Structure 1
Amino acid sequence: MYRLMSSIAVVIAIGAGLVITYVRYKVPERPRFDLDKWWGIGSKPKEEDTSIRIFSVDFNDTMIHDLKQRIRNRRPLTRPLEGIQSEYGMNTLYLEKILEYWVDKYDFKGRAALLNRYPHYKTRIQGLDIHFMRVKPDARGLKVLPLLMLHGWPSSSKEFDKVIPMLTTPKDGYDFVYEVIAADLPGFGFSEGTNKPGLNPVQMGIMLKNLMKRLGHEKFYIQAGDWGSQCASHMATLFPEDILGYHTNMPMSSRPISSFKLLLGSFFPNLAVDPKYVSRVYPLKKLFSYLIRESGYFHIQSTKPDTVGVALTDSPVGLAAYVIEKMAICSNRDQLNTPHGGIENLNLDDVLDTITIVWANNCIVTSSRIYAEGFQQPEVVLVQEIPTPVPTAAINFKYEVIYQPDWILKDKFPNLVRSTTVDVGGHFAGLQTPQMLADDVYAAGAAFLAFHNKSRR
């Protein structure tokens, strides 16, 4: 009885604190930012280059030869402990097999040609060369919805190469089709990084908004995951008049009220979350144990990205181990007891495409800095606290890093017009479950159009 009364008292105290906080908390006003802030080298010139240039992916012979030499000349790797598979990180016996494949069987030229089946471009936005793919559909008799697609770390627009044809091909039952603009975030993939501090996801969102404006799209839709979803969420917050709909495979509200709700729900988990998905959130001890176990890299990259970047820049073997281990755990966290640790849920060539792009462009440091720039920076925290009226759709894959139920997501996205939870897939949806992602983006597009039609009545 004492334990029951104590629990009730705790719930009442938390509930009271939640109510008081909610009543007292005033949502900040939308801040104003310099929409033309210069991120290029030196100071802003009087006249900017606004040209859009054709670009081609090229894994050149010099890079390939150097990469293979570095892999072949690696020092002997330390074997896993007895009885350990991937619990301590990358299984080096398994890594050896991947390295052999990378050197002897991975088709560098063929994989570059596969990426080049889409039109690639670069244009200078606020001083930085931004790379993107732009694929227009055959849209006879159909509405064309412009869709900006944004990836996260350690990825690039390559993450969407399987999804693009699915979205740019008309689909039965829909009176629209998508024009896809898949961009590399600044400092990622083939996009240029900055030499100035402060390029956080808010500022990246502004740059990508300017990219779409450069391409003639004043209003558009967004699909995004990981850090791309942070950029997209900030765009939806700062430019709700211009973002027509936002679809995300990593939906998350970072508002203070959401943290209170998460804690409160731990006392009534079957009421807070659909009983089928309770284990994705509760008990919190299990969730936090997982996050602590797997977020060491997050802390390193949020504090000292340049230090670990030295090793990853110098060694393709180290880079492969580091990136593969992260991609593996986010694809299936229940497979640490296997040598592959979860990476076999993704196609190996797709994984090596991702790593080769990072290596060829020497962008592991410039991409990793997003953690230091984006974590707990005042302007990022401020924008996170503001709800956005933009119609939003979410799909929750089984092994996504974070799962939040709709009643928490609506703190940030009150117009959550569609929410789907599935029992497969993981963090890299475009690579692992492309058809499921594309189907949901189509369904979301219909929901967005219905929302706007209703709003106009």
Structure 2
Amino acid sequence: MMHSWLVLGLVVAAAAAGYDYRSQPDLYYDTWWGPEGKEEDTTIRPFRIEWDKKDIDDLVYRLKNRREFVPSLDDSAYRYGVNTHTFGFWLDYWANDYNFTAREQYLNQYPQFKTDIQGLGIHFIWIKPEVPEGKINIPVLMLHGFPGSVREFYDAIKEIQKATENKNFVLELIIPSLPGFGYSDYSNKEGLGAAEMAFIYKNLMNRLGHEKYFMQGGDWGSLITANMATFFPDEIIGYHNNMGVALTDAAFSMMSIASLNPSSIMSCDVVNRLYPLKNTFEQLTRDSGYFHVHATKPDTLGISVSDSPTALMAWLFQQVSICTRKANYDDPEGGLHRYRPEQLLDNLMFYWMPNKGPTSFRIYSNTFNLRNYHLGYLNVTTTVPTVVVQASDEIFYMPPSMLKTKFSNLLAVDVLNDYGHFLAFEVPDVFASNFVSAVQRILAFNNQNMNVRQDKQDFRANKLSNIRQLVRERINSIRDKMSNYENNENPFMY
């Protein structure tokens, strides 16, 4: 039987050409991703970003001594990619106007730490608020994506704190760099994708003393957190997602069938965000070339972005442009003026200084491949209470009926009439307000419908002795469902 989610040309290309890990089909709770023989340091160590002057001088030299560009075609805007007629501004700003000392201080304004999880040093921001009398503390795991970093959340942190001032809770924010991104270590072993990272972040949250917590994710962060909601539903209090997709066969079957009458499954005022499918797939095909390169030959591209800051900026800024507004395709400046120069350059420094451009690409090849396709966990529903926010220029739109094939307790889909994929980065106030509102709604739902206070003593007693078995049972359950599905049972029952 054809698996209908492969109708997406984007995923077809990646799955067909990506790496095949079928020889190692299982997900493991304690997979070692670090160098062999390394002794894991489980302490939680303070961390500061420190840029060596020699590295800054080298960066500025490379920027100022770049080769002259071959000019872009006349009136081509961003249709051929980054436009050289306007791109020089950004390179010159980075070399001449970006205050490295001041920006380093800015990036160190929040407490940062590292700890080793499964052999990798994981970098994270950890903001522990004061808890006034009468308020409760809620830990939140917040995950970024590509071409982002923890910098996406910097402006939103203050807005989140403002938005909780009159609430009966405060939010403890844990904001890690993904493995292979920023100041987190990368693995030299194949297979560390979005599913495997779910285990790393579950272990990180437990290391920090959190047995139950909220999650927030966008872009890759949304895929990783969705996996966590699937694998560890008993740990997750609630889930806020600003890239709502359900990569289930049922969702994509619905998408195909509903193309005959889109208003049967979605509001008429948002039909044009998905239909006609021809327009959606045309836009995805046009703008997803980077995806196929990352999913198939990440290290070849990695050589150029590791050696040239100009190449790194061009590659990352192209993705920022196309994900911010679809209309940026026809903008000679690519819509980059929507962001302050320091925002984009701060984010770029998380790739250039620790040389993580090449390793950040590998998450695509390690996720979109036949191994993950055969595991089948994408088709398994999760009961974690979920709120999704959808910007008007999100890279892909799914209506609630499709999202519910994955998130059975989908409490709300908040539809915005503006903004793009990088919601926290572009409009931190809108992001923060929506996120805090989602926390309120999920808490109310939990209070009314489920007992979310699990006995801590029993949890701790079972955690060490049974966690591997619990995870294995969850994975086996996923496989059983997929086996039934492949035997032609109704896909909508999942």
Q: What's the TM-score once normalised by structure 1's chain length? A: 0.90
User: Does 2:419 match 1:425?
Assistant: yes
User: Does 2:124 match 1:124?
Assistant: no
Amino acid at match of 2:431: L
Distance 2:222 2:333 in 1: 28
Of 41, 49, 63, the match for 1:71: 63
User: Does 2:292 match 1:312?
Assistant: no
Aligned residue for 1:37? 31
Of 431, 434, 440, the match for 1:437: 431
State the SS of the aligned residue for 1:133.
Answer: strand
User: Does 2:325 match 1:339?
Assistant: no
Aligned residue for 1:274? 267
User: Does 2:410 match 1:416?
Assistant: yes
State the SS of the aligned residue for 2:171.
Answer: strand
State the SS of the aligned residue for 1:139.
Answer: coil
Residues 145-169 of structure 1, C-alpha deviations (whole Å, 9 max, x = no match):
1000000012211111111122234
State the SS of the aligned residue for 1:217.
Answer: coil
Aligned residue for 1:393? 387
Aligned residue for 1:328? 321
State the SS of the aligned residue for 1:387.
Answer: coil
User: Does 2:215 match 1:202?
Assistant: no
Distance 1:270 1:208 in 2: 39
Distance 1:245 1:378 in 2: 28
CA contact (8 A) 2:139 2:174 kept: yes
What is the number of residues matched between the two proteins? 426
State the SS of the aligned residue for 2:124.
Answer: strand
Amino acid at match of 1:369: R
Amino acid at match of 1:63: D
Distance 2:404 2:252 in 1: 13
Give 1:272 deviation, angstroms.
2.5
5+ residue gaps, structure 2, are 5-24, 452-494
User: Does 2:89 match 1:97?
Assistant: yes
Give 1:32 deviation, angstroms.
7.4
Give 1:44 deviation, angstroms.
6.4
Of 77, 80, 88, the match for 1:85: 77
CA contact (8 A) 1:139 1:170 kept: no
Aligned residue for 1:402? 396
Distance 2:363 2:379 in 1: 19
1:45-64 matches, within 5 Å, as 45=39, 48-64=40-56
Give 1:234 deviation, angstroms.
0.4
CA contact (8 A) 1:333 1:342 kept: no
Distance 1:252 1:101, change over 3 A: same
CA contact (8 A) 2:163 2:432 kept: no
Residues 94-153 of structure 1, C-alpha deviations (whole Å, 9 max, x = no match):
111111111110111111111111001001111000000001223203111100000001
Give 1:204 deviation, angstroms.
0.4
Aligned residue for 2:128? 136
Residues 9-50 of structure 1, C-alpha deviations (whole Å, 9 max, x = no match):
xxxxx9xxxxxxxxxxxxxxxx974211110001465xx321
Instruction: Report which stretch shifted further, 104-113 or 185-194.
Output: 104-113
State the SS of the aligned residue for 1:417.
Answer: strand
Instruction: Report which stretch shifted further, 321-330 or 342-351.
Output: 342-351
User: Does 2:219 match 1:226?
Assistant: yes
Aligned residue for 1:302? 295
Distance 2:438 2:401 in 1: 19
CA contact (8 A) 1:329 1:343 kept: no
Query: How big is the alpha-carbon RMSD for the aligned residues of Structure 1 and Structure 2?
Result: 1.6
CA contact (8 A) 1:138 1:169 kept: no
Amino acid at match of 1:185: L
Instruction: Report which stretch shifted further, 179-188 or 444-453.
Output: 444-453
User: Does 2:138 match 1:145?
Assistant: yes
Distance 1:78 1:32 in 2: 48
State the SS of the aligned residue for 1:403.
Answer: coil
Give 1:378 deviation, angstroms.
2.7
Give 1:172 deviation, angstroms.
5.1
CA contact (8 A) 1:222 1:247 kept: yes
Distance 1:173 1:412 in 2: 33
Of 383, 389, 396, the match for 2:377: 383
Residues 154-206 of structure 1, C-alpha deviations (whole Å, 9 max, x = no match):
22111111111222346355211211000001001110000111101111010
5+ residue gaps, structure 1, are 1-13, 15-30
Distance 1:304 1:417 in 2: 39
CA contact (8 A) 1:136 1:168 kept: no
CA contact (8 A) 1:306 1:365 kept: yes
Distance 1:168 1:219 in 2: 21
Give 1:295 deviation, angstroms.
0.4
Residues 313-372 of structure 1, C-alpha deviations (whole Å, 9 max, x = no match):
111001111110110111111122222112122222111111111000111111100000
Amino acid at match of 1:447: R
Higher relative contact order (CA closer than 8 Å, sequence separation 6+): 2
- Structure 1 residue ranges, 4+ long, deviating more than 6 angstroms after superposition: none
Aligned residue for 1:291? 284
What percent identity do the matched residue pairs reach?
38
Residues 392-412 of structure 1, C-alpha deviations (whole Å, 9 max, x = no match):
110001111111000000000
Instruction: Report which stretch shifted further, 324-333 or 137-146.
Output: 137-146
Distance 2:448 2:42 in 1: 38
Aligned residue for 1:361? 354
State the SS of the aligned residue for 1:163.
Answer: helix
